[in-house]
Structure 1
Amino acid sequence: MKKPRFTRPFSMPNTFLGFPVGESPSEGPKSPRDRGIAMIVVMFMITLMALFSADMIVNSAVDAELASGSRNNLKAEYVAKSGANLATFLLMADLAVDLGQVELGAATGGAGNATDGPGDFSFMLNGIPIGADSLEMAGQMQEAFDLSKIADSEVLDALKLFDGHFTLNITDESSKLNINQLSGNPGLVQTTMLRALMSCPAEKEFLDKKKVNAPEIVAYIRDWADQDERPSEDSGKSSEDDVYADRVPKMKAKNAPYDTLDELRVIPGWDVDMHTIFSPYLTIYPLPQQGKVNPVLINFNTASREFLGCLFPKSTTDCADKSALYKAKIDENGPAGSTEQVQDLLKTTFCSENDDIAKKFTFRSDLYRVKVQAEVFGQVKNLEFVLQRKLPGDDDNRIQYKAAYRYLYWKML
């Protein structure tokens, strides 16, 4: 009888976290196939570590990019505010210069008024990028024209550290028609003006294609903001709220001034196209003060020829040459400097036949809209605000503003 054959007892390999890391001391040499499995495990672990490292590198790069973008975005915001400060300074300095010239003229026996026109230096920087690049150009001009005696080069060197740039666009808000003035008896003239604006040949053709009745939509605009609940005759409605009866949720006429120009979008028929075409000629500022009826006049010197052409149709026909020539040479001849001069120019140059409309024009402004676009390494910020200046002595001393200007609107995007 043969004795049973004893085999070598099975022993488990050494492991770490479930992976074999070595042979058991009691085991003998492994076959080449067994040793290949260990190589595969090692390569698998190296791959995992490489992927983990790559993920950490990518995350670090993304975090750095986000931090850089956030920093540049914050810089762009303050660059835009720097542009706002510069625009405010230009507008107030321009007013100071005008008042100084008036006082100088009075002291020398001359006469004159503070006027505002397109040639004012507050508009001179419109569209010019202001930043390190423009300062570099200023430094080159300083060297070329030997201006070192009147300009400190160290200041320019310091300003060259200014990251990014901003662009100003200052426009006269008083060159537009105030729709908040439509309500009430004094608003009859403004209502006529808005109808005239919508009756220009191109605008009328546009409204006819959209099947929009100009007197009707003007009545809706007026009824939205007036203080009573009586509908305008041109609306053709028995109540101001009838045109909003089908709205969901339900709404009624506001019977209060417009807070923003975009509020016109609630008016039936006033769509995106209407807003794009007519809003450049409209404004809501200054907002009417409760209990006061302050006439809001339009600055003739800065009003566009297209706007004047709609209000005074003969300026584009019988007086087309005269009106075009006047607008082309207003910088050379200077702006109108008195109410009498404005009335005379409207009659002789723009063939004005409506004295009521002509009386709604003046020769100066204290209301401006400023748009600032700032950019710092690809991050863009847009700042828009409306600034109102104040002439000394305009109001009673007991209710004087604490500053010579105030912001009526401010929006950062």
Structure 2
Amino acid sequence: MRKYQYHQGSVLILFLWVMILLSLFAVSIALRTRLATKIEGYEMNQFELSYDYLTAVNLARYFIDSDQDSNVDHPGDVWCGAPRGFKEMEFSKRFGLEITDEESKININIASEPFLINFFDLLKTKKYSLKTNSKKIAGSIIAWRGGSVAQGPSTLGTKQKMGPFESLDELLLIQSIDSEDAEKLKPFLTVYGMAYGAMKVNLNTVHRYVLEALISSLSGDASDKKRLFESIEEYRTLTANSQNTAAQDENATENSTSNIKQFFNRDDMANIAQFMVKVGLPVQLQGPYGQMGSVPNLIRQLFYYVKVNSDYFHVEVRSRLPGKESFVLETVLGARVIPRFRVTPIGVSFGQTGKMVAIPLEILSWQERVF
């Protein structure tokens, strides 16, 4: 009897162990299944976001290519701000789309040290309070890209990149620039544009602070500089205000910016007298002694730093899907310059030295963020 009870107890213990092992196995399977479901859901969300982002970028390309005159870019163009006609598209329910001119900003890869100092000083007179000295910021930027600092403090002994900026985030790597200052400066700066020569901005879209600093950096009388800046700003006001009002008005019609005509074109950039007439300045090309007048001379200098068309565009995409409203994509579309080449029977043959070809509206940067 005792032997029978002993065997019965052993079977019970074995049964309990089997049940425990099966329970652990079932829990493991459940956890794996739950984890796989979450991963699948995450991957699906990422797929939806990636699909929306790529769709938005291709739509941005479409709107930019829809510009009837590629020789002139201004706030009244179909692509500028919230693209005209996008609101009526089905995609507008999934994401918001905004396109701005990247060449309305300062290209820190070729901007001169005196201009940068002038601009940073100007910002301090506005609502922007920078902790770092203007000369120190400008000198640090010049030194980082490998240039010689003329006015700022010495940068000897500081590790520098000795090459062009590839991203504005590199400002955070420069020890002498306060991180808060770097964030405040980013909206006015870019790393895209011409890689050589004088810095050029689009006169139709450039920020008023950048334009004011640019004109004040020219050689000439201070009162004439102020008069020239105010005349240009007064001329641009209707264009800027009309576009901003249309972009903010939820009931704005598709043709709300179609009557905006005030912008500068290439002919204006080739004729000082025509430019003066356009901005409402009296045409007096010569001074009292036969030399070029002060204001015409300022305009002549200004022409060297401005243009009226753009090749680089900033695209911001904001998700409107439930639960994903904080997801944002920022990308830059522009010309990617590559060596010209041709395919031959023995392989790829590159063209002569210096012959380059630009591929328009390539994706030059891609930054996804979550607010």
Pairwise TM-score range, normalised by the shorter structure: 0.5 to 0.7
Aligned partner (choices 161, 168, 179) of residue 97 of structure 2: 168
**Normalized against structure 2, the TM-score is what?**
0.65
Q: Which has the larger radius of gyration?
A: 1
User: 1:126, 1:336 → 2: CA distance?
Assistant: 21
- Partner of residue 241, structure 1: 156
Q: State the partner residue of 1:322.
A: 234
The change in CA–CA distance for 1:232 and 1:202 in structure 2 (over 3 A counts) is closer
Alpha-carbon shift at residue 14 of structure 1 (Å)? 3.5
Identify the residue that residue 190 of structure 2 maps to in structure 1: 283
Q: Which residue of 2 aligns with 1:87?
A: 60
Name the CA distance, whole Å, in 1 between partners of 2:116 and 2:146.
16
Instruction: Letter of the 1:135 partner, please give it.
Output: E
For residue 12 of structure 1, what is the amino acid of its counterpart?
Answer: Q
CA distance in structure 2 between the partners assigned to 1:300 and 1:368 by the alignment: 15
1:180-199 aligned within 5 A: 180-182=109-111, 190-199=112-121
Distance change >3 Å, CA 346–CA 367, structure 1 → 2: farther
Question: Which AA in structure 1 matches 2:156?
Answer: D
Q: Which amino acid aligns with 2:140?
A: Y
Instruction: Name the CA shift for 1:46/1:344 in 2 (closer, same or farther; >3 Å).
Output: farther
Q: What displacement does 1:366 show?
A: 1.3
- Which stretch shows the higher mean deviation, 59-68 or 378-387? 378-387
Q: Distance in 2 between matches of 1:342 and 1:86?
A: 35
* TM alignment of 1:1-400, pairs within 5 A: 11-15=4-8, 18-19=11-12, 56-57=29-30, 59-94=32-67, 97-98=68-69, 114-123=71-80, 125=82, 135=90, 165-182=94-111, 190-200=112-122, 202-203=124-125, 210=131, 212-227=132-147, 231-237=148-154, 240-242=155-157, 244=158, 251=159, 253-286=160-193, 288=195, 293-312=196-215, 314=226, 322=234, 325-326=237-238, 327-329=240-242, 332-338=260-266, 339=269, 340=271, 348=281, 354-355=298-299, 356-357=301-302, 359-374=304-319, 378=323, 382-389=328-335, 399=355
Structure 1 residues 58 and 267, CA, compared in 2 at 3 Å: closer, same or farther? closer
Residue segments in structure 2 that go unaligned for 5+ positions in a row: 217-225, 244-256, 283-294, 337-350
Task: Provide the C-alpha distance between the structure 2 equivalents of 1:58 and 1:286, rounded to a whole number of angstroms.
Answer: 52
1:14 and 1:165 mapped to 2: Cα distance? 68
Alignment-derived partner of residue 159 in structure 1:
none
Contact 2:231 2:279 in 1 (8 A): no
Alpha carbons of structure 1 residues 93 and 129: separation in structure 2 relative to 1, 3 Å: closer
Provide the C-alpha distance between the structure 2 equivalents of 1:346 and 1:218, rounded to a whole number of angstroms: 32
Distance in 2 of aligned mates of 1:408 and 1:136: 23
Residue type at the aligned position of 1:168:
L
Are the aligned partners of 1:129 and 1:166 in contact in 2 as well (CA < 8 Å)? no
Asked if the contact 1:342/1:362 (under 8 Å) is kept, the reply is: no
Within 2, Cα distance between the matches of 1:343 and 1:262? Answer: 40
Aligned length: 309
- Could you say what the CA RMSD is over the residues aligned between the two structures, in angstroms? 4.4
Secondary structure of the structure 2 residue equivalent to 1:180: coil
Unaligned runs of 5+ in 1: 1-7, 22-40, 100-113, 138-163, 183-189, 245-250, 391-396
Distance 2:84 2:28 in 1: 45
Distance 2:305 2:229 in 1: 22
> How far apart, CA to CA, are the structure 2 residues paired with 1:128 and 1:191?
42
Which SS does the other structure have where 1:174 is aligned?
Answer: helix
Aligned residues: percent identity?
A: 20
Q: Distance in 2 between matches of 1:277 and 1:263?
A: 14
Q: Could you tell me whether the CA contact under 8 Å between 1:312 and 1:353 is conserved in 2? A: no
Match of 1:406 among 353, 362, 366: 362
Deviation for aligned residue 1:89:
1.9
Asked if the contact 1:299/1:363 (under 8 Å) is kept, the reply is yes
Write the deviation string for residues 1-20 of structure 1: whole angstroms up to 9, x where unpaired: xxxxxxx8764344376526
Question: Which letter does structure 1 place at the counterpart of 2:241?
Answer: A
* Residue aligned with 1:408, SS: strand
Shift of the 178–268 alpha-carbon distance from structure 1 to 2, 3 Å rule, reads same
TM-score between the two structures when normalised by the length of structure 1? 0.60
* 2:200–2:307 Cα contact (<8 Å) kept: yes
